[in-house]
Amino acid sequence: MENWWRWHQWTRSLSARLFLLLSATIALTFGAYAMFNLRSTSAQWERSVHDNAQQLSDVILSSTRYGMLQNRKDDVHHTIGAIAASRAVENVRIYDKAGVIIFSAAGEEIGRQVDLRAEACIGCHTGPTPLQSVPVGERARTFARDDGERVIGLITPIVNAPDCATAACHAHPAWQSVLGVLDVTMSLAEPDARLASLRHNAWIAAVALAAIAGLFSAIFVLRVVRRPVHALIRGTSRVAAGDLDTVIRVPTHSEMATLADSFNDMTRDLKRARAELRDWNHRLESNLQEKTAELGRTQRQIAHMDKMASLGRLSATVAHELNNPLAGIQSYAKLVERSLRESELPEAERAELTRYLGLIQKEASRSGGIVKNLLSFARQSGGALSEQRLAPILERALLLVRHSLQMSQIQIESPQVACDDRLWCNADQIQQALVALFVNAVEAMPQGGKLSIGVEPRGDGLAISIRDTGCGIQPDVLPRIFEPFFTSKDRAEGAGLGLAVVYGIVQRHGGSIDVESEPGKGTTLQIQLPRKPAANPSASAQSAPSAPTSPPNGPQSDPETVDVGQTRSP
């Protein structure tokens, strides 16, 4: 089992597979070459034997021609017998047209009738009429004797030449074209033995050459593949263990050396990257501490904003509910005072009542001022303008509502601000306006959606577009969305001051806000802010409690509300 496992592991290696592939290729190449060479040599030997048999047949015919013309049968027999006695010749026969052996080196065969369908005769007697001529390739035959020795036979037709018909024997008429055939058989024992020896030697040479080539292949694979690959494996193992000082050295000038150099370069890059990563880690820890502190400040700011928002909603409700009673008290106090002046009461009593009514009017006015100051305080505090970058303000505003966006499964498409985003503003107020718009977008997409934010330069300022895929705003509601205390929600969900505050902030920065909405498809708000501050930016920013005098989408006065000595701001 252990040996099998070692063999399995060895065959899985690249060097073993390459060695086996090279060895198999070399063995197949030498084997194919040896087989082709042996077949070619065998064919050449057979052609040589055929040529020898043909030459021997021509020699026999030429040697016996004169004796045949002179009708000297003994000379013919003697000549053929002498030739048949040659070591390579197996037998020589002469057949007449009827298939009778009229001469044979084996004398006992003379006079024997052979079957015309025999192997020596079938080439000419394939049909009812014998063929007059047969190609040389079809006149030769190869067969094996009983002892297994191969023999080649060649038949040569004996043509009736004109001088044969006029010879003294007058044995054949002139119209007879073929007188008989000469059949020469030659032994292939010696050529087969030589060919077998040649085949044996060729296979031995092929195996020896394949073994030598395999040895050189093994040395080549060992030096060029196995050692460099093992060096790479050891190097990668050390690098994987954390040793980035490892250097792989491959002495050969090949692709393996190039691969080792590339690996060394990668290790150096990894070492440099590790150092940079360690440095970045230290920086990240430092930045994380800073961001944690900033996040704590932001959380405290959010908590403060939540408190202020609650106070704002309470103050808005209180102001809305107290303005009318206070106005009624002042009005009726004035009516009573006018009635007292026209009454017939004694002067002292009338003066005392007038003093009481004056106190009532004074305290009502003071209560109205308290309500106004409370509402102004709840909305926002003033602040000076300074040069700020818009991108960080956007990031902080998104950070404040990111949890709400995630809870509502809303996708954020925020831009990478590539333009110059510097402008003079109050960062807190701009952030407050953006947060209010983001919150409105979240409330418009309770089932999820997409919030797209864009920033682009426009004229001498910047344009901020905020687009949601929420329910949209109905056309009859759109003109009133910036009115103070106007809301399409229940009073329990809001006091209708959010967009009015946004409008006030934008106006105090000298900007403008436009709204486009389509019910069922979403709403787009676009804020344009100038880069440069107004003539008196401090005063403009610090006048935060005062409201815009004319919202863009409708009047700000409420016919059911009587303000006490001031104009109501959104």
Cα→Cα distances 241→233, 245, 246, 410, Å: 12, 11, 11, 44
Band (566; pLDDT cuts 50, 70, 90): very low
Closest alpha carbon to 425 in 391, 386, 394, 396: 386
Residue ending a domain, among 357, 379, 401, is: 379
Residues 374 and 451 both lie in one domain: no
Report how far residue 268's alpha carbon sits from residue 244's, in angstroms, rounded to the nearest whole number.
7
Residues 532 and 390 both lie in one domain: yes
Q: Hunting for tokens 């009738």 — which residue is that?
A: 113
Average pLDDT of 513-540? 79
Please give the share of the chain, as a percent, with pLDDT higher than 90. Answer: 5
Confidence at residue 193, expressed as pLDDT on a 0 to 100 scale: 81
Confidence at residue 466, expressed as pLDDT on a 0 to 100 scale: 93
Residues 374 and 392 both lie in one domain: no
Band (253; pLDDT cuts 50, 70, 90): low
Please give the share of the chain, as a percent, with pLDDT higher than 70. Answer: 72
Residues 426 and 374 both lie in one domain: no
pLDDT digits (tens, 9 = 90+) for 130-184: 555 555 556 777 777 778 788 888 788 777 666 665 555 545 555 566 677 888 8
Evaluate whether 18 touches 216 at the Cβ level (below 8 Å): no
Residues 277 and 404 both lie in one domain: no
Closest alpha carbon to 248 in 230, 269, 223: 230
Res 525 pLDDT > 90: yes
Confidence at residue 555, expressed as pLDDT on a 0 to 100 scale: 35
Average pLDDT of 2-25? 66
| Residue range of the domain that includes 133 | 14-194
Average pLDDT of 274-298? 88
* φ and ψ at residue 195, rounded to 5 degrees: -65, -40
Report how far residue 537's alpha carbon sits from residue 242's, in angstroms, rounded to the nearest whole number.
60
Band (524; pLDDT cuts 50, 70, 90): very high
Report how far residue 120's alpha carbon sits from residue 504's, in angstroms, rounded to the nearest whole number.
126
Confidence at residue 321, expressed as pLDDT on a 0 to 100 scale: 73
Band (305; pLDDT cuts 50, 70, 90): low
Residues 509 and 476 both lie in one domain: yes
Strand partners for 276 = none
Q: Hunting for tokens 């007292």 — which residue is that?
A: 340
Residues 368 and 430 both lie in one domain: no
- Confirm whether 538 is domain-assigned: yes
Residue ending a domain, among 326, 348, 379, is: 379
Band (89; pLDDT cuts 50, 70, 90): confident
| SS3 state of residue 549 | coil
Residues 49 and 189 both lie in one domain: yes
- Judged by average pLDDT, the poorest of 36-40, 551-555, 564-568 is 564-568
CATH of the domain at 54: 3.30.450.20
pLDDT digits (tens, 9 = 90+) for 401-419: 888 888 889 998 876 777 8
Q: Is 148 left (phi over 0), alpha (psi -120 to 50) or beta?
A: left
Residues 366 and 398 both lie in one domain: no
Question: What domain count does the chain have?
Answer: 3
Decide which of 466 and 319 is more confident. Answer: 466
Strand partners for 414 = none
Confidence at residue 177, expressed as pLDDT on a 0 to 100 scale: 62
Confidence at residue 433, expressed as pLDDT on a 0 to 100 scale: 87
Residues 47 and 181 both lie in one domain: yes
Confidence at residue 129, expressed as pLDDT on a 0 to 100 scale: 56
Band (360; pLDDT cuts 50, 70, 90): confident
CA dihedral 540, 541, 544, 549 (to 10 degrees): 30
pLDDT digits (tens, 9 = 90+) for 481-508: 877 656 666 544 444 556 777 887 888 8
CATH of the domain at 284: 1.10.287.130
Decide which of 56 and 117 is more confident. Answer: 56
Closest alpha carbon to 59 in 38, 37, 82, 43: 82
Closest alpha carbon to 121 in 97, 137, 92, 104: 97
- Confirm whether 423 is domain-assigned: yes
For the chain, give me the number of helices (H) and strands (E)? 13, 12
Q: Which two structure tokens, joined as six digits, stand for 263? A: 């690996």
Gyration radius (Cα) of the chain, Å: 61
Residue ending a domain, among 143, 160, 194, is: 194
Evaluate whether 183 touches 95 at the Cβ level (below 8 Å): yes
CA angle 24, 27, 32 (to 5 degrees): 120
Confidence at residue 462, expressed as pLDDT on a 0 to 100 scale: 92
Instruction: Kindly state the DSSP code that residue 343 receives in the 8-state scheme.
Output: S
- Confirm whether 240 is domain-assigned: no
Average pLDDT of 179-205? 80
Closest alpha carbon to 254 in 265, 246, 262, 245: 262
CA dihedral 388, 391, 393, 398 (to 10 degrees): 180
Decide which of 526 and 308 is more confident. Answer: 526
Residue-wise burial string across 10-40, b where 16 or more C-beta atoms lie within 10 A, e elsewhere: eeeeebbebbeebbeebbeebeeebeeebee
Summary mean pLDDT of the chain: 74
- Confirm whether 118 is domain-assigned: yes
Res 331 pLDDT > 70: yes
Res 465 pLDDT > 90: yes
Decide which of 342 and 536 is more confident. Answer: 342
Report how far residue 234's alpha carbon sits from residue 305's, in angstroms, rounded to the nearest whole number.
62
- Confirm whether 222 is domain-assigned: no
Res 453 pLDDT > 80: yes
CATH of the domain at 481: 3.30.565.10
Residues 362 and 415 both lie in one domain: no
Evaluate whether 224 touches 52 at the Cβ level (below 8 Å): no
Confidence at residue 530, expressed as pLDDT on a 0 to 100 scale: 92
Res 380 pLDDT > 60: no
Evaluate whether 154 touches 55 at the Cβ level (below 8 Å): no
Please tell me which of 22-31, 371-380, 421-430 the model is most confident about, judged by mean pLDDT.
421-430
Closest alpha carbon to 306 in 394, 401, 392: 401
Evaluate whether 525 touches 515 at the Cβ level (below 8 Å): yes
Residues 132 and 261 both lie in one domain: no
Band (523; pLDDT cuts 50, 70, 90): very high
- Confirm whether 73 is domain-assigned: yes
Complete edge-to-edge strand list for the sheet that includes strand 449-458: 410-413, 449-458, 461-468, 522-530, 512-518
Strand partners for 458 = 461
- Confirm whether 210 is domain-assigned: no
- Confirm whether 208 is domain-assigned: no
